[in-house]
Structure 1
């Protein structure tokens, strides 16, 4: 096994078995460990008993399953949105929203915006530009933009370098224009915000004058293979008329049933995740080696030695070249609710023993 590529036929949890050997696993995006949660699995089986393994139809058909409305009402209430719309994936959610506004104004993309929200490959941004540099450029460009409708597309945070974005710049956008802010919160749903509800409630309260659309995948922390769009009721009703919504298969109803009935499961897992984050931080002798922010389970380091060093000690962390195979590896430790205190102590002890040789970021 090498650091570059690992082959296995087992779904990793807190550990990973490769060629009969067990490794501690600190990678992936299953922050709440839902894929291994027995209560969630039992609820999913119950949902499949009601709705089968898939719903092979359009949401616009003359048969309507109540579970879609129940899940969307629950998502709206949880996040503080007027309305929510579920789709089969975060990609479909992104494309449905972007295509809805494609000819209505000027699109401006922040660095790191996911391809699911691109209109075409031309929307790819400079990967070396920081979010703060982009904000400065945005504030310079918008006043000179002739279009009256500005559509700004960005992420809620950077899960690769563990950076939490601020959005105070929205208040400084010049008056006299219409603004639609589209935010991908895929890596925030289930972890950030009040009760893990993501960024919608806070941003809507802070910036009520802009049209806010928060969307993304529910398949990370929440373990639901579906996408969601959160916005005002008028915007969501408009999206329901889109051919992207009506022509695509919907989210699997059994998973939406499990989401509705497993809120305590998510809450308990989030409490455990926060406990694990604080435990790991407390055991690091030099936390400044990492970039991280409060109550988020990702710890980024520019130290390229860390991955092979830990791999020799049967610990797998996240390390891959991004955004292209020619780029330097991005090295991170990703915690989950599944990890035990012994796991975290083992990881921290090895890190504390590693002598750092300066490396270029």
Structure 2
């Protein structure tokens, strides 16, 4: 029976400390949640600005549903492209400083569609080894030749680019790496793309809304702009709602409209979501106070955990990974924190490389200094017990 084989594989994952399961929230997303009927202080959401349950976004979504209904009913290229979609795309393009933008249902679908549309057989993709799984899947789907470079290793990437003589060249990278929290050297990557006639595809899922002036993202953080940059950001993290977008030159967007399968062959997102996201974009632009508070929390956490036996990885972003190493120990620490009413996810292979299991601590502007102190105290207690 094939089911026996499946169960054996699941049992093996459990033995290795790699089995995953879901937990059910019975409260809105916030630092203080209820999971399986129990209250927790959570440090595992990507709701970096605390907008997921913001009253202005709730009101905007309600108004959008009242005016536009709850479903798009068709793909964008049939009759599912509404005024709110179009207006939001224009607003997003202006916000990140690109000529045009295109909405996608998720960041995963944006990456799959864009990479597959821009490169194919005879072309080459150059990818950071710690890129998100969606980028890895995208480059395989494209059927382009794939060359991976060591994490952040600009020198190795330059050698690879110099050795590639034909076809289109696409460098793809996370802008803020989702499991490490560090920021890609985008300025240096762009310089290489200009030197070797390549595109730079930047996945800013964890930077948009958080880094850069007014939260305009990683391009703004580095002060870079170029026709060569194809910029992707998600709208379900710092923006607090759902979806994703790609911003680029008009010819790139037109190419995606015609060739990105995950855009062409799927139903459009509900237009009410775009109404809420337009409001979210205003809150992001006005959110310097939120970002300043978040920055203070990051400094507080790093100072408070500097003397633990487990080390925080280098990161100035809201993603603060505590490197543990062993899978079972990471799970044990996560479970012990839950026993103290604190929710922090244990991240294990294959999401991260072997031997680098970690607690992925994520901070939000909705956290208080007291919340962070509670986490710091609990981790020091666990360190003394270990």
Taking structure 1 as the reference length, the TM-score comes to 0.84
Q: CA RMSD in A?
A: 3.3
Whole-angstrom CA distance in 2 between matches of 1:279 and 1:175 = 37
Q: Name the SS for the 2:229 alignment partner.
A: strand
Q: CA 1:264–1:65 in 2, change beyond 3 Å: closer, same or farther?
A: closer
Q: Does 1:198 align with 2:193?
A: no
Whole-angstrom CA distance in 2 between matches of 1:251 and 1:63 = 8
Q: For residue 331 of structure 1, what is the aligned residue in structure 2?
A: 359
- Equivalent residue runs for 1:1-361 within 5 Å: 7-11=23-27, 12-61=29-78, 64-103=81-120, 105-117=123-135, 118-120=138-140, 130-133=150-153, 135-170=154-189, 172-173=191-192, 177-201=196-220, 206=224, 208=226, 211-242=228-259, 244=261, 245-267=263-285, 271-279=289-297, 281-282=299-300, 284-287=303-306, 289-294=311-316, 296-303=317-324, 304=330, 306-323=333-350, 327-328=354-355, 329-355=357-383
Q: Is the 8 A contact 2:297 2:369 kept in 1?
A: yes
Whole-angstrom CA distance in 1 between matches of 2:187 and 2:194 = 15
Whole-angstrom CA distance in 2 between matches of 1:5 and 1:92 = 23
Whole-angstrom CA distance in 2 between matches of 1:275 and 1:168 = 27
* Runs of 5+ consecutive residues of structure 2 not aligned to the other structure: 1-16, 325-329
Query: Which has the higher relative contact order, 1 or 2, with Cα contacts under 8 A spaced 6 or more apart?
Result: 1
Q: CA 1:18–1:97 in 2, change beyond 3 Å: closer, same or farther?
A: closer
Whole-angstrom CA distance in 1 between matches of 2:147 and 2:164 = 20
Q: Name the SS for the 2:210 alignment partner.
A: coil
Q: Is the 8 A contact 1:94 1:216 kept in 2?
A: no
Whole-angstrom CA distance in 1 between matches of 2:246 and 2:291 = 25
Q: Using the TM superposition, give the Cα deviation of residue 107 of structure 1 relative to its aligned residue in structure 2, in angstroms.
A: 1.5
- Total equivalences in the alignment: 352
Q: Is the 8 A contact 1:23 1:314 kept in 2?
A: yes
Q: CA 1:286–1:19 in 2, change beyond 3 Å: closer, same or farther?
A: closer
Q: Which protein has the bigger helix share?
A: 2
Taking structure 2 as the reference length, the TM-score comes to 0.79
Whole-angstrom CA distance in 2 between matches of 1:86 and 1:241 = 14
Q: Is the 8 A contact 1:180 1:213 kept in 2?
A: yes
